[in-house]
Amino acid sequence: MGKFRNKLTKLEKYWILYDVGNSAFIMLVSTIIPIYFKNIAQSNGVSAANSTAYWGYAISISTLIVAVLGPILGTLADTKGYKRPLFTLFLMLGVLGCASLSLPLSWIVFLAVFIVAKVGVSGSLIFYDAMLPDVTSDERMDLLSSLGYAWGYIGSCVPFVASLLLILSAEKLSITSSFATGIAFVLNAMWWLLITIPLLKNYKQLHYVEVKSNALSNAFKRLGRTFKDIKKEKEIFTFLLAFFFYIDGVYTIIEMATSYGKDVGISDNNLLFALLLTQVVAFPFAILFGKLSKKFKTENLIGFSIAGYFLIAIFALQLDKAWEFWFLAVCVAMFQGAIQALSRSYFAKIIPKEKSSEYFGFFDIFGKGASFTGTMLMGITTQLSGNSKTGVAFISLMFIVGFLIFKKASKMQKK
């Protein structure tokens, strides 16, 4: 991994590799999968506005499921010896779900299988994020978290480019684009699984709660205590509240960008190549923000990223040309990795390490709850108004609220 090779331990590299693996599927969620779904829906007489809404609802349902299960599973995972098995379970749920999208399915069944795969990847990330205190030290968390997102962005380009070439060359290969897309889904699932094996083999849970007679009932008891603790620890709760609002806009932009782009008339090829550019540009900027965290306070970098995203949302309101979507893709790339990576490491540093999965379960509730709110709001406003831009206007307000609450949270942390 370039100049960082000598600075990273093997376990840190293996941890980063999971970002490279799961980012392949996340890239599909932002590019090929929504286009493929909208084309299936359109061929069955579903309008563009309705297919965008249904896509938003599917994402909302998957995030709601993980938001409900997250704290329970996270608390259980803090028990000695439980984190890796639970991580593996959700990893396989995501991998098999991704591969199953290759089957010939109706648009409704396709959405159902997608929800399963999305629950898998989102659930696995709860345990993956909670591994951060086990694989590195506090002073290296910002950099390692940023490197994870950075290599995830650039690494996901490998299976994505292969998938894109396969789909675009379908006619020359004498296969249908639908069949080529199915092969792409299987290819990405295999990439995701194989590149995760080093982490599965080498990860060790260093921070944990000792096993009790009934791990599940004990997990529920600890969950209740942790919820009370979070409410008492005002700096943690205020940060989570701020995170809810600003990450709402981030996740909604990531997950709805392709569908929104199609609605305003951007061609499929422009959408795919612009979003590929996003991954490439995001790589150096994620590393840059990780290095800047050594010179500037993490909270200042997060605040700067929130402001950047607000301006992106405002620009998106008048978007109707391909070059504007390309410009928007570059702007998103500048802040996408930074705001996610620094939020993850900032939270990991202010929580008790032996309860990392429990706390990241709540972190996931606020993150997934935000994603649910944003995509659901996008879907409802789009259907009611018949225009996707109405939803984007509402999303932009979330960044303002998130910024103001985050400033309050960072002041509490200083005291």
SS3 297: coil
| Residue pair 331/282 in contact by the 8 Å Cβ criterion | no
Per-residue pLDDT of the chain (415 residues; tens, 9 = 90+): 444 445 789 999 999 999 999 999 988 887 789 888 988 888 888 887 788 788 878 887 887 788 778 777 777 777 777 889 999 999 999 999 999 999 888 889 999 999 999 999 988 988 898 888 889 888 888 889 888 888 988 888 899 899 989 988 988 989 988 899 999 999 999 999 999 999 999 998 887 666 665 655 665 666 667 667 666 677 888 898 899 888 877 877 766 666 667 666 777 777 777 777 887 888 888 889 888 988 888 889 999 999 998 998 888 777 767 777 788 888 888 888 888 889 988 888 888 777 777 777 778 777 766 666 776 777 777 777 776 667 777 778 888 999 999 988 887 766 5
Contact 367, 320 (CB under 8 A): no
As a whole number of angstroms, the distance between CA 253 and CA 241 comes to 19
Q: Would you state the structure tokens that stand for residue 148, as one six-digit string?
A: 């994870």
Output the pLDDT for position 2: 45
What is the C-alpha separation between 24 and 33, in angstroms, rounded? Answer: 12
What is the token pair recorded at 371?
A: 């994603």
Per-residue confidence (pLDDT) for residue 3, from 0 to 100 = 46
Nearest to 258 by CA among 247, 245, 274, 246: 274
* Sequence-distant (≥ 6) Cβ neighbours of residue 405 within 8 angstroms: 238, 241, 242, 245
In this prediction the pTM is 0.73
Intra-chain end-to-end CA distance of the chain, in Å: 38
Element (H, E) at 247: helix 234-263
Residue 380 and residue 57: Cα distance in Å, rounded? Answer: 9
pLDDT at 218: 62
CA dist 355 to 2, 74, 97, 391, Å? Answer: 33, 9, 30, 37
- Ramachandran angles phi, psi of 209, nearest 5°: -105, 135
Write down the pLDDT at residue 371. 63
